[in-house]
Every structure is written in C-alpha cells, then in structure tokens.
Structure 1
Amino acid sequence: MTINLSVPEMYELKPRITVFGVGGAGGNAVNNMIECGLEGVEFVVANTDAQALAQSKAQRRIQMGETATQGLGAGSHPEVGRAAAEEALQEIRDHLSGCHMVFVTAGMGGGTGT
C-alpha cells in the first residue's frame, strides 16, 4: 500500500462578474467605472444608438435593434427598446454566458434602458 504525499494543485477560483450597461445612462455608468479603474469585472455595453456605442470605453459592445432602430436610438420609446433587445437577445445571452454575477446599470425614462 502506497501513500500519496503530493500537494494537490491549487487553482485560483474567482467569480466571473460582469457589469452590463444598457442604453445611454448605462453606457455612461460603465465608462465612469472604467475611468475610475474598477478591476475584477468585465464590462459589456448595449445600446440602440450606434454613435453612443462607438464612444464606449468597453471592449465588449452590443448594437441592439439594427433592424428596429437602424442605429438611431429608441427615441424615448420603451417599446422600441424592448423590440431592439429582443432582436439582440442571442448576442446578449452569448456575452453573459458563464457569468456568476451580473450587475445591470441603466437609466429609467429613455427608451433603451427602460
């Protein structure tokens, strides 16, 4: 009978945390977090406004509603924002796959985040 005295390998286990910014306000919040140097999280932004999305500091971006809004935003119409989100649902799922925690940041009152 042999005794195994080797030390088991140590794996660094840490949660996968994502901050998900939706719409203009959510994108601004994510930009502020990135500028402040928040570490240990991944950032994803999603917007119907192509120009605002292009200004994002996040590396992972989702253009929502390419058909519904053609990159022009939701125009403060939540039903347009909803249609845009449904259009991009699979891409949103792909970006959030495997996350342990997701913090969603969005403004209420516009079209996309609402």
Structure 2
Amino acid sequence: MFELEENISIGANIKVVGVGGGGSNAVSTMIESKMNGVEFIVANTDIQALNANKASSKIQLGLDLTKGLGAGANPDIGRRAAIESYNEIVEKLEGADMVFVTAGMGGGTGTGGAPIVAKIARELGALTIGVVTKPFFFEGKKRSKHADTGLA
C-alpha cells in the first residue's frame, strides 16, 4: 500500500531580496502585483524604511554600526553593515535554490550591501541573480561612481 507524503515541496525554492531603499521599493512593487511562489525579503540599514515595507521577512542590517539610521549614501557603511549581519542573512537565505538580489546602485546600503548578500547566497549554493538599477544622469557623478564601483 502507498502513502502520500503531505509535506512534499514541489519546484524550486525562490527568494527575492531587496537591499537598501531601491531594492526594498522593488520588492514592495512585486508584493503589490501579487506574485506567487516566491519568498520576499527586504534588508536595510534604515529601520523606519524597513518597518514600513510590506515584506513579511526583514533583515535589519548593521544595527550596531548604523543604529538603524541608514548608511548615509556611503557604500562602505552598507558593506560593513551587511557583513555585521552575516548570520541573519544566512538564516533567511538557507534552503534557497535561486536568489534574486535587487538593489538601486549609487547609494549606501544597496551599493555596498547587495554584493555581500549575493556572495552569501552563492556560498549557500543558490543560483544567484542580481537585478539592479543605475542612477539617472541628473543624480550626479558621485552616485554614478558609487554605482560603477558597486557593480565591479
């Protein structure tokens, strides 16, 4: 006689991580569009923006470093904040077959933190895909330079 296993997971375990303000906004838009079959996660240094996000899974990046006040458009602070939160990121990404990391390049948290999140996803064996935006010309050379550095 055969018995059916009720807790069988069919298909890939897909997670979308929005890093920083731009990435978190992208995740909110995806949630509003009622995408199914994907776990949405947001990671940010700005605790107010994090709390306002609609994602059910959230990572406060670099609480000791930033005190929840954001990265101040400094990619090094974003990078260090993500490194500080390494264990929390691992916990949220474990079990993923595929991870999409989305961020706006040019600011602090997305530019500095998204590469760390992507690296952790790869270390965990997930197929990792980055979906990022670059700043508009009118946002200035500094943000554009930060974006180029973050993409390197």
Give the TM-score taking structure 1 as reference length: 0.90
Provide the residue aligned with 2:83 in structure 1: 86
How big is the shift at 1:8?
A: 7.2
Q: Distance in 2 between matches of 1:13 and 1:49?
A: 36
Describe the shift of the 1:76–1:60 C-alpha distance in structure 2 as closer, same or farther (beyond 3 A): same
Q: What residue in structure 2 maps to residue 55 of structure 1?
A: 52
Q: List structure 1 runs of 4+ shifted beyond 6 angstroms.
A: none
Bigger relative contact order (CA 8 A; separation at least 6): 1
User: 1:37 maps to which residue?
Assistant: 34
Whose radius of gyration is greater, 1 or 2?
1
Correspondence 1:1-114 to 2 at 5 A: 9=4, 11=8, 13-114=10-111
Q: RMSD across aligned C-alpha pairs, in angstroms? A: 1.3
TM-score (norm 2): 0.68
3-state DSSP class of the match of 2:65? Answer: coil
Q: Report the identity percentage.
A: 55
| Richer in helix (by share) | 2
**What is the DSSP-based 3-state SS (H/G/I as helix, E as strand, rest coil) of the residue aligned with 2:29?**
helix
> How many Å apart are 1:12 and its aligned residue?
5.2
Distance, in Å, in 2 between the alignment partners of 1:9 and 1:69 is 49
In structure 2, runs of 5+ residues without a counterpart are: 112-152
CA–CA distance in 2 between the matches of 1:43 and 1:76? 24
- Change in Cα spacing, 1:94 to 1:28, as seen in structure 2 (3 Å) is same
One-letter amino acid matched to 2:82: A
Alignment length (residue pairs): 109
Query: Structure 1: which 5+ residue stretches go unaligned?
Result: 1-5
